Amino acid sequence: MSDFWSRRKQAVADAQKAETAAATEARESEILKVERATQDGMTEAELLKHLNLPDPDTIKSGDDVAAFLAKVVPTHIRNRALRSLWRSNPVLACVDGLNDYDGDFTGNGLNGGALKTSHEVGKGMAAHVKRVVTSVSDEKTLENETQPIEKKLLAEKPVAVKPSECEVAEEEFATLPVMPSPRMRFTFEEESDA
């Protein structure tokens, strides 16, 4: 019975927290809308003065950029501040090439050329696979023509052995010596000082 009441109290507390969070978020979004409306006609210098922010290009290593991360700061100013911070700090500016996202996936490295691929729309890699199969079959026919003796030997029937010749009585099998399993043995030649 006590478990029911503790769950009920927790549900009421969670509902109150959700209501206060929703009200706070609604107030913040309304304030942000009003702020964005006032920022619409301003130039960048006026924006920085209105928000009491320094010029983002003058940020040096060790400067606090937390003010640029506020929600009311426009994205292009925030990005400029972060770029200045990354340029100013050699630890942050060190690009070692180990990041997954460092690659240029835009195709700008093609210098205006087209990327050549075997993929065909609707067919996939069909043409490429056909070329590979034909080249492999051509190699096999060439191989078969150059090795007719091996082909003849493989085509011959194996010699049949009578089962009576291979059978060993159980008594004889028990008396056969047990051979130790083969092991690798290494011998080393001694170096002579000659």
So what's the pLDDT on residue 91? 75
CA pair distance 155, 83, nearest whole angstrom: 74
Taking alpha carbons only, the member of 89, 81, 10 closest to residue 51 is: 81
Is the pLDDT reported for residue 95 higher than 60? yes
Q: Could you tell me which residues come within 8 angstroms of residue 106 by beta carbon, excluding any fewer than 6 positions away?
A: none
Predicted confidence (pLDDT) per residue in 123-156, tens digit: 777 777 777 777 777 666 655 555 555 555 566 6
Indicate the pLDDT class of residue 187, thresholds 50, 70 and 90: confident
Average pLDDT, integer, range 156-176: 58
Average pLDDT, integer, range 158-185: 60
Higher pLDDT, 187 or 161: 187
Q: Could you tell me which residues come within 8 angstroms of residue 51 by beta carbon, excluding any fewer than 6 positions away?
A: 67, 70, 72, 73
pTM of the entire predicted model? 0.40
Higher pLDDT, 110 or 13: 13
CA pair distance 74, 41, nearest whole angstrom: 13
So what's the pLDDT on residue 151? 59
CA pair distance 90, 75, nearest whole angstrom: 24
Is the pLDDT reported for residue 12 higher than 90? yes
Domain ranges of the chain: 8-40, 43-97, 118-154
- In this prediction, what percent of the chain has a pLDDT beyond 70? 61
